[in-house]
Amino acid sequence: MKNSLSIAGLLLIVGILYVVMFPVKQPSQAGVHSPVAPSPGQSSHQPASTGMSIYGSPSVSVVQINAILSFYSSPAQGKGQVLYNLGVKYGIDPAFPLAFFLNESTMGTQGEATATLALSNERCIPDRLCIDQDRGGYAKMNSWEDGFEHWYQLMVGPVYKGCGLTTIETIIPKYAPAGDNNNPGHYIYVVESAVKIWRSGKVQVAL
């Protein structure tokens, strides 16, 4: 009887020592990672894009569009009704072409737009006069109204909407590619920021 108790006690001691020396590890889960919180004060270089779709009802009024064009002393000021009506016609919020206009030429006051009457610096196309060919050539629109409508038609055509490019973050890398000396990330930031500011009822965009 005593021998049995001694053997049982010895086995118990050996078992305890084994557990202490060789603890059982929990199986790991492949592909599962604990989230890492950013360090205090850490932030990304570029604000996160919201993926705004250019399609929808107008989020700015004719009065506000005219006020924005006037604030920037745009040569297209007073034509807010045209930009608004074309937005309704093509199903695009007119705040977006206005934001492109701001980033491209500060509302037509700088660069090629002063001569091309366009919302953007578009290279030569078959159905418009090609000017400044010594600088690569740019399409000259027939009027500001023509320039507005051409932009809307471009967006709803096969190049953009036809290829599923309907948001700012999908349109701009094709519209203003890095290979043509553009910064698509900054362009996206400017356009989305301007639209947000105007939707809040303000006129000036301070970036």
Sorted by where each begins, the domain ranges of the chain are: 62-115+144-199
Mean pLDDT, range 24-36, rounded to an integer = 32
pLDDT over 90, % of the chain: 69
**Residue closest to 187 by CA, chosen among 121, 100, 114, 112:** 100
**Residue closest to 119 by CA, chosen among 91, 89, 155:** 155
Q: Are 131 and 115 in contact (CB under 8 A)?
A: yes
Q: How many other C-beta atoms are found inside a 10 Å radius of the C-beta of residue 10?
A: 10
Q: How far apart are the first and last CA of the chain?
A: 90
Residue with tokens 């072409």: 97
pLDDT recorded at residue 27: 34
More confident site: 21 or 127: 127
pLDDT recorded at residue 157: 97
pLDDT recorded at residue 33: 26
Residue 129 has pLDDT above 80, yes or no: yes
